[in-house]
Structure 1
Amino acid sequence: MRISELSARSGVSIASIKYYLREGLLTSGQQSATNQADYNEDHVRRLRLIRSLIDIGGLSIAKVRAALTATEDETTPMHDAFGAVMHGLDELPTDDASTDIAAAYDEVQAWLEARNWKIEDGAPAPYRLAELIATLRRFGFPAAATDFDNSADFVERTAEAEVQYARSMPDRTAAVETMLIGTVIYERALVEVRRLALEAASFRLDETD
Structure 2
Amino acid sequence: MRISELSARSGVSIASIKYYLREGLLTSGQQSAANQAVYSEQHVRRLRLIRSLIDIGGLSISKVRATLAAMEDETTPMHDAFGAVMHGLDEIPTDNPSADIGAAYDEVQAWLKARNWRIEDDAPAPYRLAELIATLRRFGFPAAPTDFDASADFVDQTAEAEVHYARSMPDRTAAIETMLIGTVIYERALVEVRRLALEAASFRLDKTD
Normalized against structure 1, the TM-score is what? 1.00
- Listed as ranges, the gaps of 5+ residues in structure 1 are none
Deviation at 1:122, TM superposition (A): 1.2
SS at match of 2:178: helix
1:152 is matched with 152
CA shift for structure 1 position 60: 0.2
Matched with 2:164 is: 164
The one-letter amino acid paired with 1:47 is: L
Q: CA RMSD in A?
A: 0.3
Q: Which residue of 2 aligns with 1:86?
A: 86
Aligned partners of 1:196 and 1:31: how far apart in 2?
Answer: 54
Q: Secondary structure at the match of 1:53?
A: helix
- 1:164-186 CA-partner distances (Å, limit 9, x unpaired): 00000000000000000000000
Q: What residue number does 1:15 align with? A: 15
Give the Cα separation in 2 of the matches to 1:186 and 1:49: 18
1:61 matched residue in structure 2: 61
SS at match of 1:180: helix
Q: Distance in 2 between matches of 1:122 and 1:72?
A: 22
The AA in structure 2 aligned to 1:127 is Y
SS in 2 for 1:160: helix
Q: Which residue of 1 aligns with 2:46?
A: 46
Return the offset for 1:111: 0.1
The percentage of aligned residue pairs carrying the same residue is: 89
Write the letter of the residue equivalent to 1:25.
L
Distance 1:94 1:112 in 2: 22
Please list, as runs of the form range in 1=range in 2, the aligned pairs for 1:77-116 lying within 5 A after superposition. 77-116=77-116
Which sections of structure 2, spanning at least 5 residues, go unmatched? none
Q: What's 2:123 paired with?
A: 123
TM-score by length of 2: 1.00
Tell me the residue number matched to 2:26.
26
- Tell me what 1:2 maps to: 2
